[in-house]
A and B are shown apart, each in its own frame.
Chain A
Amino acid sequence: MAVDVLSNLLLGFQTAMSVSNLLYCLIGVFLGTAVGVLPGIGPIATIAMLLPITFGLPPVSALIMLSGIYYGAQYGGSTTAILINLPGESSSVVTALDGYRMARQGKAGLALATAAIGSFIAGSAATFLVALFAPPMASLALKFGPAEYFSLMVLGLVASIVLASGSLLHALAMILVGLVLGLVGTDVNTGIARYTFGMPQLADGIGFVVVAMGVFGLGEIIANLEDETTRPSSITSVSGLLPTREDWRRITGPILRGTALGSLLGVLPGGGALLASFASYSLEKRLSKEPERFGQGAIEGVAGPEAANNAGAQTSFIPMLTLGIPANPVMALMIGALIIQGIQPGPSIVTEQPQLFWGVVVSMWIGNVFLLILNLPLIGLWVRMITVPYHFLFPAILVFCAIGVYSLSNTTFDVFLMALFGLLGYVFNKLGCEPTPMLLGFILGPMMEEFLRRALLLSDGSPMVLMTEPLSALLLLISGGLLATVLAPSVRKRREETFVAGD
């Protein structure tokens, strides 16, 4: 087995180390960081915006570049969180707690270096875990029937709402909204066009990039413009990059524990990375001899969550690559990208496309190396990008969204559709309905319908098949258990507290 992993990794290195793929990885990491540091743009918007530039590439290169964009965007988000306390996504909220404090105390460079080093160590360890655990997972998944797949997707959707911050009712309803949106297009079995209103542009369904850009791009721009007063304009100078021996002593433990936590939680569907950074933060605070330092610029509070966050980001590739199931919206975008490339993500990827699979795994590690060597010297550039005022930024974002969406299938129809989803995104934002479960439902909807159809065909119409197949029953039981825990008063309170702390 160990030999297997080594020879597979070798194949991966051969793929990922080709000059062109190295270049795509580098470009991806660079662009991802560059867009990710821009305040108010999270990884989802970054990837959705940059996705079109990967369409012309071969699948392996496209996925390698997208992965690079993802890590870059995440690291960029942490940079912004540390320097100006504007986390672009929920998982860097935790980083901002102590990271921004450190920056205010003149230790911005140290905080950034800690984040980079923590991410690198965690990323390297998690990459190895992916190499180790993805193949057995895939061979297990090959035994899955349609009932198991359906139940697995139910689990994925349910897990995604455990972490949604709003009410359970709205999270469930938003999943349904997403599933309903996924209905639009031609029914695969009968060829009947459903909910297309006679428009041929809708025959292939609504593009997920259109939805993602509308809701996460346009919708958030409008929301950001509501209140323009909160944006800080000044930035503390960045100096003192490298950790001292004393700093190393402080951060080693948190990084290792964060890596373990993140790797474990990242596999869970539904934003495991967010859970991981919160969990790591509270763990470090509990273990610390001086917990009162947390929130006042404790370096451990940056190291642990950043490591956990990055480890989770890597291991969330496991369910995506082996089961074709997204653990978070970013992975949903990756799946969408693969489908555009003509590859159906699923357990057969590991055996049928070993080059793709192992190339991506190895490029994860290479991406982390690039992050480390790129970010420390380029920090001055990122600082300058952060200081670009938002009123210059958002028209440019809009330009990239509009051109990106147009280039999907070279039709202005998608531009109008994006505008519609921008409106919808803003309305949902106003009503406190989170769009993330909707996006997951939207991506999984068509697959769920197909698997349900097949499962019921085999069972002669009895829905009990979902409960009589042991594995499927187990997955549904876990889903039920998760729902029950969210409803349990103690967890509910915890959940609210966590998100209050996050704000």
Chain B
Amino acid sequence: MSLIGRNFRGFEATRPLLVDTRERSVRNPKDFWAGVIYLALGLAVILLGRNYSLGSAARMGPGYFPIVLGALLALFGVVSIARSFVRAGEAVAAIAWKPLVLVIGATVLFGLLMERAGLLVALPVLIVVSALASQHTRADLQSALALIGIVAFCALVFVKGLGVPMPLLGSWFGS
């Protein structure tokens, strides 16, 4: 009932319907966005898998299972989106951009630097960049010692001890 009421007010407001639907009628943003992800992922699976041969039920081709899964996932997405207009729920809490960007960014930087600059550069970068994500991080002696300790530990245990083939100094240093 309330859904119809809301949409009805939407028409009276003489604003574009699409914008209005988004702004006023999504009563459960978490359901809505999760549904969007499911739907997008499901459709992508179907779309990207359209060239894999389906086969028949008796002889499932490489495209059979993906299409079934993709369709089911897309269906769940539609249901979740539809439900978001009916059942109220919590708003999506604010995204913590700082830790998100710094932690993911530090990991990516590590990946980029590992083989080029070597472990002795990549690790400190990973540690320092990610540590910036915390408000408690201080550039003091204790932090510096912790940093040196971790790097030394990894170099000794993983590279020397366990023999993981990570260069201590990478191709940039001519090794």
Seen from chain A, the residues whose Cβ lies within 8 Å of a Cβ on chain B are 53, 56, 169-170, 172-173, 176-177, 179-180, 183, 187, 189-190, 192, 194-195, 218, 221-222, 225-226, 228, 389-392, 394-396, 398-399, 401-403, 406-407, 410, 412, 415-416, 418-419, 422-423, 426-428, 430-433, 449, 452-453, 456-457, 459-463
Contacts and interface: CB of A to CB of B under 8 A. Distances in A.
Given A169-B31, A419-B104, 20 more contacts: A183-B65, A194-B62, A218-B103, A228-B136, A390-B134, A395-B126, A396-B127, A399-B154, A407-B158, A412-B114, A415-B110, A419-B107, A430-B30, A430-B95, A433-B34, A453-B60, A456-B58, A457-B60, A459-B58, A461-B58
Contact of B30 (A187, A225, A431): A431
Contacts of A398: 103, 106-107, 126-127, 130
Interface stretch (B2-10, B12-20, B67-75): B67-75
20 contacts: A169-B31, A173-B76, A176-B72, A180-B66, A222-B96, A222-B99, A225-B133, A225-B134, A389-B136, A391-B134, A391-B137, A394-B131, A395-B131, A396-B127, A402-B111, A406-B114, A428-B34, A431-B30, A452-B60, A462-B57
Given A218-B107, A462-B57, A426 B83 contact: no
Interface of B is mostly: helix
Interface in B87-111: 90, 92-93, 95-96, 98-100, 103-104, 106-108, 110-111
A453 B60 CA distance: 6
A433 B76 CA distance: 13
B69 A183 contact: yes
Nearest to A389: B136
Contacts of A401: 107
Contacts, number: 184
Contacts of A402: 107, 110-111, 126
B165 A410 contact: yes
A1 B150 CA distance: 53
A183 B42 CA distance: 12
A489 B103 CA distance: 41
B104 to A, nearest CB: 5
B67 to A, nearest CB: 10
A398 B76 CA distance: 34
A173 to B, nearest CB: 4
Contacts of A410: 164-165
A452 B65 contact: yes
Given A170-B80, A173-B38, A415-B114, A221 B103 contact: yes
Interface string B156-173: 001000101110000000
B41 A180 contact: yes
Contacts of B57: 456, 461-463
B92 A416 contact: no
B76 A172 contact: yes
B99 A177 contact: no
A399 B127 contact: yes
Contacts of B143: 392
A53 B134 contact: no
A433 to B, nearest CB: 6
Contacts of B59: 457, 461
Contacts of B100: 222, 423, 426
B70 to A, nearest CB: 7
Contacts of A173: 34, 38, 73, 76-77, 80
A53 B60 CA distance: 39
B112 interface: yes
A430 B62 CA distance: 34
A395 B57 CA distance: 50
Contact of B58 (A190, A430, A460): A460
Contact of B111 (A225, A412, A430, A432): A412
